[in-house]
Amino acid sequence: MARVSDLGIDLGTSNVLIYQKGVGIVLRQPAVVAIERTSKKVVAVGTEAYRMIGRTPGNLLTVRPLRQGAVHDLELTNTMLRYFMNSILGRRFFARPRVVLSVPSGVGETDKSSLVSILYDTGVQRTQLLERPIAAAMGARVDFSKPYGCMIVDMGAGATDIAVLAAGQVMHSNCISCGGDAFDGAIISYLRKKHNLLIGERTAEEIKIAIGSAVPPPTDLTCEVTGRNLLMGLPKTQTIHASEIYEALKAPVETLIEAIRSVLEQTPAQLASDVFEDGITLTGGAAALTGLSEAIYNALHTHCVLAEDPQTSIVLGCGMALENYSTYRSLLRDSRRNLH
Ligand SMILES: Nc1ncnc2c1ncn2[C@@H]1O[C@H](COP(=O)(O)OP(=O)(O)OP(=O)(O)O)[C@@H](O)[C@H]1O
Ligand SMILES: [Mg+2]
């Protein structure tokens, strides 16, 4: 049996991406599981489960097993990971690939061991972990090998990792639970307060991507939003302006900027001045919010560059570690299986 080439996995709280050595990205699916409410039986995983969000019949529930940068439901996280791995490895139990895995910064050691055990059960020979900011920097092609400071801000759904890297390592970092989900939450509560309009997470995400902005929008785009009128209890369609969504997003954008400022303040002066000179690299899906680079520049006077296809930076970094294993092996950390 031919050996399946090695795999890089970005296990995100919103999306799971898998890179196959020599091939590229082979899986990109939402980190969602649909279960039966009473029996807890899993009925759909990934894209299929995502389509059911907000549309499930009464007996079904859609769940994101990882939330706010950590494992929320370990059993469902394991089920989801097993499902994605089986879709790639099939029944090739002798395939035994090597895996480079990147997990949210808030995932504890016990949960990591459990994930490594699941990978082993699906046919993985060896799992090595790659720190998120390092994976993001590699994927965004930031050279952090020199003794020169560079900053990576990876803004995913559940969390944002902010790190200053130099000399091949993380010099200073922080992880805050403010990411794309916080933006969606801010839109939900703004529309509830201002228009008595109740919307779901998926609608909020769609509004954010369509007309959301971190700076005052130059043209007032609008979109029609349907939700439930909280006073009447009936469906209601309302025209929402981009300027309103800008207002809604002000607070979480401010939280992000203050967290970046604080990391810079705590970074040794020489490295911080390198960052001011060279700028900040933004990765992660939520960093694609319109005007985010500009808002950071306006507040901190440091220019920002958004990585090309920012949602893929981490998995591309894991892939790069596999493609150039001898160069990057010192950045990888072996993780033990737990003996269950
Ligand atoms: N064009 C866009 N504008 C604004 N936000 C976006 C855009 N595209 C995607 N997003 C947001 O990016 C987030 C998902 O990004 P990503 O896939 O990097 O997260 P993740 O890696 O799964 O999460 P985490 O890193 O927190 O574990 C979601 O909140 C999504 O709404
Ligand atoms: Mg991510």
Range of the domain at 83: 7-133+314-334
- Residues 191 and 286 both lie in one domain: yes
Alpha carbon distances (Å) from 258 to 238, 284, 295, 296: 33, 18, 12, 10
Which of 10, 11, 13, 15 to probe ligand 1 with, by most ligand atoms within 8 A of CB?
15
User: Strand 33-36 and strand 42-45: pairing?
Assistant: antiparallel
Kindly report the CATH number assigned to the domain that includes residue 126: 3.30.420.40
In a domain, 124, yes or no: yes
In a domain, 2, yes or no: no
Which of 11, 14, 256, 308 to probe ligand 1 with, by most ligand atoms within 8 A of CB?
14
Alpha carbons 55 and 52: distance in angstroms, whole number: 5
- Residues 237 and 120 both lie in one domain: no
In a domain, 327, yes or no: yes
Does any ligand 1 atom lie closer than 6 A to the CB of residue 161?
no
Alpha carbon distances (Å) from 128 to 28, 98, 116: 20, 8, 9
- Residues 302 and 153 both lie in one domain: yes
- Residues 119 and 239 both lie in one domain: no
**How much distance in Å is there from the Cα of 159 to the middle of ligand 1?**
10
- Residues 175 and 116 both lie in one domain: no
Strand order in the sheet with 160-166: 169-176, 160-166, 150-155, 280-283, 304-306
Does any ligand 1 atom lie closer than 6 A to the CB of residue 13?
yes
- Residues 99 and 243 both lie in one domain: no
- Residues 164 and 298 both lie in one domain: yes
For the chain, how many structural domains are there in total?
Answer: 2
- Residues 25 and 61 both lie in one domain: yes
In a domain, 191, yes or no: yes
**How much distance in Å is there from the Cα of 180 to the middle of ligand 1?**
6
- Residues 222 and 164 both lie in one domain: yes
Relative to the alpha carbon of 12, which ligand is closest? 1
Question: Is the separation of the CB atoms in 156 and 69 below 8 Å?
Answer: yes
pLDDT in 10s for each residue of the chain, 340 residues: 446 689 999 999 999 999 999 999 999 999 999 999 889 899 999 999 998 887 777 788 999 999 888 899 999 999 999 999 989 887 665 668 999 999 988 888 888 998 998 898 888 889 999 999 999 999 999 999 999 999 999 999 999 999 999 999 999 999 999 999 999 999 999 999 999 999 999 999 999 999 999 999 988 899 999 999 999 889 999 999 999 999 999 999 999 999 999 999 999 999 999 999 999 999 999 999 999 999 999 999 999 999 999 999 999 999 999 999 999 999 999 877 665 5
Does any ligand 1 atom lie closer than 6 A to the CB of residue 11?
no
**How much distance in Å is there from the Cα of 62 to the middle of ligand 2?**
20
In a domain, 339, yes or no: no
Alpha carbons 80 and 75: distance in angstroms, whole number: 9
C-alpha torsion angle, residues 43, 44, 48, 50 (rounded to 10): 100
